[in-house]
């Protein structure tokens, strides 16, 4: 870890971690004594610059604090936020109004406005961290395969994470919809016994449950409170010992009939075939899966279904702060004023791997992009590489011509 005091109680900055210290810091910043400091007021003693800087620091402490600020502003900050306002204006010179009425767009716009009045506008401010949530290490953490974002990054770098069936060691990769990640089960710590107290979720799920008022099987032999336990006298004991040989021979038919009348044996206990999860007791506040991830704990894999979105009253980006609050808005205003210069085509190729662009190039070229194909005997197929290079150059020239035509 780059910073040893990352979970400092004095600073109380929430992080993407399940640690008990972080849980305490999360409580302090949301409902504890430091929660009032995040409610910015117009009549407060802090200036607007200080409020924006504090908001930016709190947002970056939770979302990608291990990413340097310069790299975050250059590669992970979106250019704009999506516009969620309904488009009401239609031109009277064409048939757009008739088409809108035919498609019942007015009714949908009306229901959308009613939803906005009831729940408010969609909290699109939190979508400024959508590029960070697309990172492969963030998806590993959100899928509950690691106890912190730092451990998720270590799993990727050490080769314990597979992307679409192939080992992947670049933690900066941003996934595309449909990508599947798989984590090595031997590297997941919650599949093993913990040195401290743990909650064996699966064992607790399969332990037998007794109904209320129902006595256990061993309770029949125990005496009831307030009653004396039955004891045999000396005469009765002697009589039973004397009559034991004859009674044993005479009681064989009755024992056979009693064995036939005995109830059937209890059904066998259900077989435990679930994934063995042994979690610490303080992990429960962090056990949730975002809507854009579909995990499978039986195979230790997860699918990145789609990009996170927002709708009125709800944001799919997990954050400890109000998704439509002043803190998120001030953080966005801070970055809007300090946006880096426009990146050129050459600089765009130097950024972190983006699977969306890679898949798009693969579809246009007609094969895996930027991967050297190896033939039989471990030798490269030079002719095939040249053909692929020609197709890629043709696609690049076509894109360049379209840009020039648009500028003209």
Q: Are residues 326 and 368 in the same domain?
A: no
Within a domain: residue 116?
no
* CA neighbor of 371 nearest in space, from 348, 350, 399, 392: 392
Which pLDDT band holds residue 305 (cuts at 50, 70, 90)? very high
Within a domain: residue 90?
no
For residue 177, pLDDT beyond 80: yes
* Boundary (domain end) residue, out of 280, 306, 332: 306
**Number of domains into which the chain is organized:** 3
Within a domain: residue 384?
yes
Residue 201: predicted pLDDT: 59
Within a domain: residue 317?
no
Q: Are residues 172 and 80 in the same domain?
A: no
Indicate the range of 52-61, 169-178, 376-385 predicted with least confidence: 376-385
Region 31-43: mean pLDDT is: 80
Within a domain: residue 156?
yes
Within a domain: residue 181?
yes
Q: Are residues 291 and 350 in the same domain?
A: no
Indicate the range of 127-131, 224-228, 345-349, 357-361 predicted with least confidence: 224-228
Query: What's the CA gap between 352 and 130, in Å, rounded?
Result: 15
Q: How large a percentage of the chain has pLDDT more than 70?
A: 59
Q: Are residues 29 and 174 in the same domain?
A: no
Q: Are residues 2 and 75 in the same domain?
A: yes
Residues facing 200 on adjacent strands = 278
Region 367-388: mean pLDDT is: 56
Within a domain: residue 255?
no
Residues facing 306 on adjacent strands = none
82-98 per-position pLDDT tens digit: 776 555 554 545 566 66
Indicate the range of 30-34, 106-110, 278-282, 321-325 predicted with least confidence: 106-110
CATH of the domain at 139: 3.10.290.10
For residue 168, pLDDT beyond 50: yes
For residue 319, pLDDT beyond 60: yes
Structure-token pair, residue 248: 């044993």
For residue 17, pLDDT beyond 90: yes
Q: Are residues 45 and 190 in the same domain?
A: no
| 328 C-beta neighbours (distance < 10 Å), count | 25
Q: Are residues 200 and 298 in the same domain?
A: yes
Residue 314: predicted pLDDT: 85
Residue 341 or 246, more confident: 341
Q: Where does 231-334 show beta strands of DSSP type E?
A: 278-279, 293-296, 301-304, 310-311, 314-315
pTM over 0.75: no
Q: Which domain holds residue 360?
A: 345-407
Q: Are residues 161 and 62 in the same domain?
A: no
Per-range mean pLDDT, top range of 76-85, 136-145, 223-232? 136-145
Q: Are residues 67 and 203 in the same domain?
A: no
Q: Are residues 392 and 294 in the same domain?
A: no
Q: Are residues 146 and 285 in the same domain?
A: yes
110-126 per-position pLDDT tens digit: 665 666 666 667 888 88
Within a domain: residue 245?
no
Residue 152: helix, strand or coil by DSSP?
A: helix
Q: Are residues 328 and 398 in the same domain?
A: no
Residue with tokens 């919809």: 177
For residue 378, pLDDT beyond 50: no
Q: How large a percentage of the chain has pLDDT more than 90?
A: 32
């Amino acid at each position: 870890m780059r910073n040893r005091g990352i979970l400092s109680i004095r600073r109380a900055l929430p992080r993407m971690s399940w640690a008990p210290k972080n849980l305490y810091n999360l409580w302090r910043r949301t409902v504890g004594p430091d929660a009032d400091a995040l409610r910015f007021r117009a009549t407060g003693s802090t200036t607007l610059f200080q409020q924006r800087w504090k908001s930016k620091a709190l947002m970056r402490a939770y979302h990608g604090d291990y990413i340097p600020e310069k790299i975050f502003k250059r590669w992970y900050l979106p250019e704009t936020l999506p516009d969620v306002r309904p488009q009401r204006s239609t031109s009277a010179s064409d048939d757009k109004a008739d088409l809108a009425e035919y498609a019942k767009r007015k009714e949908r716009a009306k229901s959308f406005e009613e939803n906005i009045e009831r729940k408010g506008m969609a909290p699109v401010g939190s979508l400024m961290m959508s590029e960070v949530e697309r990172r492969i290490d963030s998806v590993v953490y959100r899928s509950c395969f690691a106890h912190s974002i730092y451990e998720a990054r270590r799993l990727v770098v050490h080769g314990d994470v597979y992307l679409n069936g192939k080992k992947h060691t670049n933690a900066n990769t941003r996934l595309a919809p449909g990508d599947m990640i798989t984590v090595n089960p031997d590297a997941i710590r919650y599949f093993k016994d913990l040195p401290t107290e743990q909650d064996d979720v699966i064992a607790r799920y399969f332990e037998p449950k007794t109904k209320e008022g129902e006595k256990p099987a061993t309770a029949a032999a125990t005496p009831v409170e307030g009653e004396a336990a039955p004891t045999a006298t000396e005469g009765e004991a002697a009589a039973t010992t004397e009559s034991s040989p004859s009674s044993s021979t005479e009681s064989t038919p009755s024992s056979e009939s009693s064995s036939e009348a005995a109830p059937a044996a209890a059904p066998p206990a259900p077989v435990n075939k679930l994934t063995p999860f042994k979690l610490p007791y303080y992990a429960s506040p962090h056990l949730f899966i975002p809507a854009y991830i579909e995990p499978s704990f039986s195979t230790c894999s997860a699918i990145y279904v789609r990009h996170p979105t927002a709708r009125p009253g709800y944001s799919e980006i997990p954050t400890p702060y109000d998704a439509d609050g002043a803190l998120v808005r001030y953080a966005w205003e801070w970055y809007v004023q300090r946006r880096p210069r426009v990146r050129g085509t050459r600089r765009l190729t130097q950024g972190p791997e983006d699977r969306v662009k890679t898949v798009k190039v693969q579809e246009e070229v007609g094969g895996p992009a930027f991967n050297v194909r190896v033939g039989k005997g471990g030798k490269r197929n030079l002719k095939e590489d040249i053909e692929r290079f020609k197709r890629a150059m043709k696609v690049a020239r076509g894109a360049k011509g379209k840009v020039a035509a648009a500028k003209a």
